[in-house]
Structure 1
């Protein structure tokens, strides 16, 4: 079990204001069988729900093969009303493209007929359409939330990803940290059980959980530190004047980012290297133009660098593959994917460390793995021997370094404050959690 110091300090001066609820809403809210229902939509469930004898709000999750028209018609909503609902909600969300598992809420009257339809459109934002005299009245409401600083320090254990996840670090934070640290750390070779990972980030959290919204959303990761074999890598988030995005730097102003990542995933083993080898399926020797990383199906794959997606489709023996064009004549290829991340298609821009797909075993693949290639001016090169330092941003200097030093001092002060709350400035604390709300 990973040891962990977890300190959450609320830093908001004011709460996010919740939109005023309709007076009738609290009267309508009831329970199904003593608890709020959370079921998959299906014929059997629909028949049971039709027998509800009191007004209630139920939560449903769209099952495979279901569509909104079929669902709502079970609750006395006709096809024309569903089509009107889809049109009224279009500015916020396309109800024709709801994915399997998407949660919706239905407010039913005593006869089991629909009164209102609710759905989450983004974090902490709920859209409710109320049926009044045959017409839909749509309103948007914001759930009450607060800003919270999260300072977490853990032993890496067997896997940085799994240890951080078990401790409660948000998945977005873990992926971002790994993407940044990958510039300096080879996650497939370097980590040991005694290494320590530390992160300081800010998130917006719901005051009360809601079935139509995730519990929290990461705002920004301000500090990342990984100590490998006694060597610390403390990194601070900063956007220099004239820069379009934030980057991570060492305290002396050295940028951590390199031009391309050498390992675009975490928690994998290097199963095959660059060079000539006997192909495990074809049976003859040929040049293996990239690296193979073995990992569990569904492991997130990151873009090795900023660039433009050239291909995100089926690639024959490559199976599902993605090809990205980067600056300076470089391209990267990711093959045998289980599937593509949302929004990844030819022509779209991606950022370094962005999740572009998920590890699989499609195409000419003997076992689940990622096949990763890097090409320079059309020629395949060994990703492990990439030498792109001349493309890396220069060390901060002058006024930029002075301004950055203020950022470092501010973050260090926040870290010291959170350590002082536990009175454990140099020791790991086992699963201790502290959240302080400032009013």
Structure 2
């Protein structure tokens, strides 16, 4: 019997003998009847819900509705530092915009922030096709109220995507100044400012290879883009081995000045501009020369600067008009007395300014006449003389007088600024020196 069971098991495993299972029948199951009507899952969810009347969510971008912000690169950006009593309307009026102030201030949030502006804060305006695209009211280096134009009108909010930064660049001159400045990443507007700042210290016609420049300037950034390049904050120009440094400071006059960094002395500024034209070409220097008309060798008591006819001529310093009229071989001439025995003369004008009369007070930079070729002259130019106690001096080399500009309180404030900026300028000088040494090593 045991052998028979074993054999049956083996055959079953090998599949040669079918195996059947025996089941017992279950009692009959009655069908379940549900008298509730059928409800789909969707309807069931609806029946179990309650209307909450929630507001519709609107997707936003940088705090504004999903409509994309205007590009920062279209049109042009303007920067304005707000003065006492200025309003949004008075600031925007010179821009000749089609956008009016009422349109800008229609949104209550915008009106709340821009109806009254704080003096000393900054306003950046993006204009495209005479229309305001964006307006930034900057109350801090990282704090600003941004107003943007959208299809529904202007809206605004406080935004952290604005930033005011100070940038710094240092380089050694090996090519023309504007080329090396551009290669170093200096905006062209900053290069032009440097020329104006150092025009009384550096002879830009005699810049040589090896001169060094270091500059700290402000830049304004929005949506990670530089939207505006501001002004020079501090700069150093090492010219022919001598270092000239200037720092921007708001003095008692409320007008920014670029002052020397010698904080141990009462700060002074140059009382005169070196030359009476913005631009022009030096056509004849000071000293002995062959006279272009008389054909004789004679002393030239000033300098001649050639420029197109009717180019404005500016007073080089504060003073009073001593003479205004026609003066023989000098042609139309203006003479200004500046005190301390100093007198300046401007000759060969096409005409002098109409309201200029003897005894009239003029300020440095005032227009006093226009380039011409009156008198003994061979072409349009201005003949400029700088006289000390009646004796002609070389206008390009004479040591220009200085005058004080700071009160005691402002002097203390200035010393703190000098300490901070001088350290940064020294580091920039080291950076430029490294650049110079690397250039020598690799033949630059």
TM-score range with shorter-chain normalisation? 0.3 to 0.5
Bigger radius of gyration, 1 or 2?
2
Q: Give TM-score scaled by structure 2 length.
A: 0.46
Tell me the TM-score normalized by structure 1. 0.46
Taking CA–CA contacts closer than 8 Å with sequence separation of 6 or more, which of the two structures ends up with the larger relative contact order?
A: 1
